Structure 1
């Protein structure tokens, strides 16, 4: 589908692998110009030529702001910001979670999005087709036992998104959130392994339980997340703002 995104200037955080890489590739396929950052140098090196890239830990606010400034200068402005960076955080009972681990999860999953939105708003105001798309999670609309830092951050992303949609709407900047469910890839596998270890069960048992709460019982592919995002960034999505859009196979609960 031609979404008329040729020359669209896009920043994607954590774009070297997984969902982020699928997002970068989807924008490239639509003719967009993309800048991205990631903590993984080796993965960044494998991105297609023409992608502006920099190694950045988004939990470092100074480094993140520096990257955003350089990316917008390289792109000559900005039309779309995709806040994709996130970590799983600890898997443990609340009383066993170290405060440092809590702060790290909140900083990367939520505070980095706040910083990026604040840094990019002026540039987005100059765009004729401006959007911000924040990655939340199904954990941003349901509770998530043993994953309180992650769930708290992802619920926070929804609040950030809906508030910014109201605030930036008069500037014609759309703001939406995507809520992935069980997404195929190494990160989901690591989450299942951590939960299995914490509960003394097999990975297969934990995986089966997770899918028992999902109507469509197969993994979401990263490309399906990316497809939703490029639509929201296109003019076809010009009336969609303030929404928390689940791409999760109708997940009703997280155990």
Structure 2
């Protein structure tokens, strides 16, 4: 992480967030504190909106609509945070990460239940967890606490995913492990960005701007974790629809972007 206040001040005034990342502030636009870190959030905003619309069209369970829209909310919050570097916008980024991950956990652990059933006990536990994390984080304002709590939720998702591709639907390993691998690559680049920030900044001063863009590793973290999270929703939805005896297939929109096409169960005559 870059030292707070290490860069110029722009439209949104002095930084008030408890975090400031390695991208030089207001280097591209007077109105956007971290331009590339902001723009990279589009991958967490637009594709999940399409996924939510497709889920509604297919008449699937509302929990998956909530999953897609929760990822969109994370993207919007992160956009606002990196655009302004204001503390209130930081909360709009970080807290929805917890809430969205709780929705993902609910979907994964309810994959093998009857259609449209509701596990109120699990909902209570996840809501209570979210409330405790929110309350503590607002009090202590320690990013490490948030990162650990988010990591616990991701760890639960990883364990559940491994169980599913090992014991239930082994043919989903490709989708499950691709999602996990992309997310872990993003996490690796996030750490490189934090640890070697000064070296990255120095390198950017020596190369053309279009080359320096590719060294904005926090932006790559957004792109990779956004894609990894999106693929996780596809994996979760694929698992659920298989259990409900639908006929899901992975299709590529415009030959590029993965989506789930869900056909209704065959009627037995």
Q: TM-score, normalised by structure 1?
A: 0.31
Q: Which has the higher strand share?
A: 1
Between structures 1 and 2, the one with greater helix share: 2
The alignment's TM-score, normalised by the length of structure 2, stands at 0.30
Determine which structure has more spread, i.e. the larger CA radius of gyration. 2
